[in-house]
Chains A and B, each alone.
Chain A
Amino acid sequence: MMNREPHRPEAPPGHEALVEQLRDALGRASELVAHLSTTLAVAAREPGAGPAAAAPRSEDDTTRALSAARLDVQELSTRLVDTEHQLDRLMSLYVATYQLHSFLDPKQVHDAIADIAINLLGAERFALLLRREGGLECEIVHTQGRIATEAPRFAGAVYEGGDPLVDGALADGVLRLGPREGSSALAAVPLKIQDEIVGALVVLKLLDHKPALGSEDRDLLDLLSAHAASALFAARLFAAKDRKLRTLESLVRLARRE
């Protein structure tokens, strides 16, 4: 049973304020359009009546002002949609980062990476490779989807190389997008911490309803490249320290018995 309600992370404050400002501006522009429409209607019905009498204005001027106000409303609406879209994108990235750094157990970090790949990226088949300490070969620590039949290179316990996209990403730490001849990967995301490449996320297939990786996905892949590696590094360090601590505690207990 889930007793706790997950903590609600705050959204980036600058963007929320911008959305609010745009909403206000949109509201004001709508009011202006409504006001101008009323003025125009009154002027047409009763020449010389209403505000037009106090500040005489030709019908052409009012019509121009009305058109300009309508254009403003249209532009502001477009900007509001763009900003909300941008806000959604930033929220996804924020939640992904938050989630990656929430765990100190390497296995849980692997699961968080898989969660992001499935739920935010829309990956149906993928493999997570991690370099063995002190070596160049990569351990396959997590796979998802039909790997054995569709991508046998990633089916065992160790990735032995051979996929040009993945080998390239592991060699120079640069994100590579497929398709490429000889490779079954759609994307090879190097997991980098400083200049060290600790592994790669290999995306092999997207969900059926997702045709291709888009620009927003590229942002997410870049985020994974940087943050997944540091989260894994921190979790591995913690696990190693934890093991040492337990060993020392055991030794102390043994020594006290003697």
Chain B
Amino acid sequence: MQPSKVLAVDDSDLMHRMYDVMLRGVPLLHARDGNEALERLAQHPDIDLVLLDINMPNMNGFELLTELGARGAVPGLAVIVVTTAGREEDASRGLAAGAAAYLTKPFRGEEVRAAIARLGESHAP
């Protein structure tokens, strides 16, 4: 998958900077929680990939996934869940709620890029 616009949702400034350098050349937007993410998604309907942290204030990653599901989701939007806890149940819960893949922190740039590339394979005809 070659995303046209990516939304990084995380409450950590450090992670936003990491995404900036890991995904150089990819148009990238930032949100600090689920509420901001919904605003960004409304403002930028061409976002086709969300990198979603689970542990966040206000609206966490699971709540955002549920909200996206309740709204009928955005057509063509893929979500990669990013968990800090590294707990299997978080990943399973994220996948069950509609995420396409998951990553566990800490991760390298090549792991993010590989996860995005694999999304392309799974969406290929």
Contact = CB atoms under 8 A, between A and B. Distances in A.
B105 A115 contact: no
A119 B13 contact: no
Contacts of A1: 36, 39
A181 B104 CA distance: 31
A133 to B, nearest CB: 28
A54 interface: no
Interface residues of A, number: 32
B21 A94 contact: yes
Contacts of A208: 85-87
B18 A95 contact: yes
Nearest to B111: A88
Contact of B106 (A8, A11, A87, A210): A210
A9 B108 contact: no
B14 A9 contact: no
Contact of B86 (A89, A92, A119, A209): A209
Contacts of B22: 88, 91
Interface in A104-154: 112, 115-116, 118-122
A9 B106 contact: no
Given A85-B108, A119-B106, A121-B106, A98 B24 contact: no
Interface string B10-24: 001111111011101
Interface in B61-98: 84-87
A95 B12 CA distance: 12
B12 A84 contact: no
Interface of A: 1-2, 5-6, 8-9, 11, 84-85, 87-89, 91-92, 94-96, 98-99, 102, 112, 115-116, 118-122, 207-210
Interface of B: 12-18, 20-22, 24, 29-32, 36, 39, 84-87, 104-106, 108-110
